[in-house]
Amino acid sequence: MVHLNNSLSDEEFAHKDDYKALVRVAILLNSESNLDHLLDLIISESNRLLEADRTSLYLVDYESNEVYTKIALGVDGFEIRVPLGKGLCGTVAVTGETINIREAQSDDRHAGDMSDYITHTLLTMPLRTHSGKIVGVIQAINKKTGVFDARDEEILAAFCGLAAVSIENATLRRDIERMFNSFVVTMAKTIDARSPQTSGHSERVAQYAKKVALQLGMMSDQVRLIELAGLLHDYGKIGVPEAILMKPGRLTEEEWVWMRSHVVQTREILSNIYFIGDLNRIPLIAGQHHERVSGKGYPLGLPGDKIEFEAKILAVADVFDALTYKRYYRNPMTADEALDHLTSLIDIEFDETCVNALKEVIARDGPPLNTDFDPDAIRQAHILGALKTA
Amino acid sequence: MVHLNNSLSDEEFAHKDDYKALVRVAILLNSESNLDHLLDLIISESNRLLEADRTSLYLVDYESNEVYTKIALGVDGFEIRVPLGKGLCGTVAVTGETINIREAQSDDRHAGDMSDYITHTLLTMPLRTHSGKIVGVIQAINKKTGVFDARDEEILAAFCGLAAVSIENATLRRDIERMFNSFVVTMAKTIDARSPQTSGHSERVAQYAKKVALQLGMMSDQVRLIELAGLLHDYGKIGVPEAILMKPGRLTEEEWVWMRSHVVQTREILSNIYFIGDLNRIPLIAGQHHERVSGKGYPLGLPGDKIEFEAKILAVADVFDALTYKRYYRNPMTADEALDHLTSLIDIEFDETCVNALKEVIARDGPPLNTDFDPDAIRQAHILGALKTA
């Protein structure tokens, strides 16, 4: 580790401007919530602060006991994995020491260059969080002027502390979002699986709706909103009796009343969820997926200009999936037949922009593959099977 | 805002050590994920850096267009709310300016002191995130030596940048966790509500299990794990036919086979969720809530020493709630009767530590209040009603 030694000249140590720059870097790193972007930023900022020719960032994988890197500035992206304790980075990840090599070509600790690139100077330091956990290793290579000196060690040590906590936070946030998303997907699947006819329906609707949103050039936050609304649009079916959901034939008018009630239930149930920011529009949007631009949809019969645009996307995605998927009482339509049907109802039931965007999506990605269901599946086997195969 | 002026003496500006301290503060702030603790930390650190007598932190509430504070170092905690644009802090929250007052008693901008405490010097600055959003205002009061000078302004400006992004991150993380939790609670309620008999069951089990865990002195992460496992322990009932769940009487042996299958389904369905860290034990724990210490439980008939301790807590909480809640075929037991029943089965079905902890919880918090159900409720009304009243 770095020890300050007052007998050395001031020039070798960090200055006020270095630390001032580090404070700005701290804000920059902590403002980046996307983990991949953050890792890129850490590499480019440390490379700049140390005036290195290139810098690598290794993360520690405590499950496989390896350090790994996907990115190295100046090298084409490929994944390198090294066991903990092996090589310079694998060693630093275990011991937590700083290794500063002034001529790698004559140093046994340097494992040799893997390409034509020749390494001379090397500064390797652990990324240690506030609680002491080593989450990764930074390696700066070939300082552009001279060797990595005491000032570089001091600055990199401070930088590593900032970078480590940023990585820890961004990782945790990504993991919490993954947990939430996997929960929503799993729940949607289990609710769909109460009827073989609708198995996988919500996931497919979410995917169609997401693709339509992307096709229409929507921003990532809005795309995520639409995808989640797609996954959740039939949540209310949990309140519809199985006898109706699983009926092997057409429904009576009374049964349709029950069936239609799922939209109201979707909206009311979802209203109990504490959605963040714009996601709080999900109950509204999901609750309008059976509204139609003619005003003859349900539950409210809203005129077209009162229907949320995202709900119009859901409506198209929902009906397309229903038409192209087998029902007890009819075979699936082809994608073309379904798109023709949607087109014939433009400005009557569906929004033109949404139908056209779906056409482009299907033209590009092809028609849905599996449109059959297993009518003999018992519900339990079906639910578990739906989870396993999807 | 602060403008550096080279004609002023060096003493008035921040030094290397100040920025070095700020880098350490950056790591400290970003390592604190609990929002309340973070706000405390921001106040104490800014108070220390500026050598102020006391410091207040106001957050901006853009829904009510107010700034508010719950905490002020040196003042007993009470909430102050001020409209945006009013007062020093409300003004700074809108204009983003720095206000440095050298004698508040003779300055019109100071609104006056609300207690015996006399304010002389005041430094007020916005908490602005990297993207430019003002999330709060810091106000340092009565510098211990002299007035707040250019060095103080420079340091506080850098500190505010760090604090703003920390607040933004901690708020978002808290909100994502809230969203996840509310989703789990809502889903558990809707699954329970498929049968009037089990309405609210999972939430009550989660609460009993949480209290038992706290009574046993468990750490907050483990308490959260147990609470979530309690909410999710009956998820597999989504795969049990309604005819069985809603049967108004005792089940046949064949129906019991179906009913018991819910534990296996709970485990398998939950295994599809990407649980973070130790929460990945939830499928295992939830899937063991019908195991019994005698080895005569299901689905695996595990001996007591192979059952997770958290599952033993769930078992006690689950049975206690079932006994004290009305069933189609019997009235609820009183809390005392149920606890006596559990006690009689210690080391046969239940773990002694868990039963005793539940006794202490019930002795302290009293018996459950509402133990009835509405057998005439139609499922839809019931599901929606359960969500509204719980």
User: pLDDT tens digit string along A30-62?
Assistant: 999 899 999 999 999 999 999 999 999 999 999
DSSP 3-state percent helix, strand, coil across chain B (nearest 5): 55, 10, 35
Taking the CB of residue B378, how many other CB atoms lie within 10 A of it? 13
Query: Residue type for A199, please?
Result: S
Interface of B with A in 22-41 (CB under 8 A): 22-24, 26-28, 30-31, 33
Tokens standing for residue A390: 């999807």
Interface of A with B in 144-183 (CB under 8 A): 158, 161-162, 165-166, 168-169, 172-173, 175-183
Pairing mode, if any, of strands B80-83 and B99-101?
unpaired
Q: Rounded to the nearest 5°, which phi and psi values hold at A80?
A: -110, 135
Residue A335 vs residue B192, higher pLDDT: A335
State the pLDDT at residue B111: 72
The DSSP H or E segment spanning B61 is strand B52-61
Distance CA B149, CA A279 (A): 45
Per the CB < 8 A criterion, the answer to whether A192 and A386 are in contact is yes
Distance CA A12, CA B126 (A): 36
CB crowding B273-300: b at 16 or more within 10 Å, else e = bbbeeebebbbebbbbbbbbbeeebebe
User: What residues of A are in contact with residue B379 (Cβ under 8 Å)?
Assistant: 239, 241
Q: Per-residue pLDDT averaged across A365-376, rounded? A: 72
Query: Model confidence at B253, in pLDDT bands (50, 70, 90)?
Result: very high
Q: Per-residue pLDDT averaged across A181-201, rounded? A: 89
Nearest CB partner across the interface for B23, out of A162, A235, A384 = A162
- DSSP class of residue A332 equals P
Domains of chain A: 10-172 (3.30.450.40), 193-389 (1.10.3210.10)
Q: What is the mean pLDDT of chain B?
A: 89
| Percent of chain A residues past pLDDT 90, beyond the cut | 73
State the pLDDT at residue B113: 67
Asked whether residue A278 carries a pLDDT value surpassing 60, the answer given is yes
Q: Which residues contact A7 (CB under 8 A, 6 or more apart)?
A: none
Residue in A closest to B166 by C-alpha: A30
Distance from CA of A61 to the nearest CA of B (A): 13
Tokens standing for residue A198: 């609708």
Nearest alpha-carbon partner for A283 in A262, A266, A308, A259: A266
Asked whether residue A384 carries a pLDDT value surpassing 60, the answer given is no
Tokens standing for residue A303: 């005129």
Interface of A with B in 217-246 (CB under 8 A): 235, 238-243
Distance from CA of B94 to the nearest CA of A (A): 21
CB contact under 8 A, A276 and B175: yes
A36-45, A109-118, B285-294 — which is least confidently predicted?
A109-118
pLDDT in tens, B144-173: 999 999 999 999 999 999 999 999 999 999
Q: Is B299 on the interface with A (CB under 8 A)?
A: no
What region does B270 belong to: left with phi over 0, alpha with psi -120 to 50, or beta? alpha
Interface of B with A in 343-382 (CB under 8 A): 379-380
Query: Residue type for B253, please?
Result: E
Q: Is B118 on the interface with A (CB under 8 A)?
A: no
State the pLDDT at residue B269: 94
pLDDT in tens, B10-34: 456 788 899 999 999 999 999 998 9
Q: Is A190 on the interface with B (CB under 8 A)?
A: yes
CB contact under 8 A, B23 and A165: no
Distance from CA of A384 to the nearest CA of B (A): 7
User: What residues of B are in contact with residue A241 (Cβ under 8 Å)?
Assistant: 242, 379
CB contact under 8 A, A33 and B238: no
Q: Is A184 on the interface with B (CB under 8 A)?
A: yes
Q: At what angle do helices B220-232 and B309-324 cross, to 10 degrees?
A: 50
Query: Model confidence at A211, in pLDDT bands (50, 70, 90)?
Result: very high
User: What residues of B are in contact with residue A200 (Cβ under 8 Å)?
Assistant: none
User: What residues of B are in contact with residue A131 (Cβ under 8 Å)?
Assistant: 31
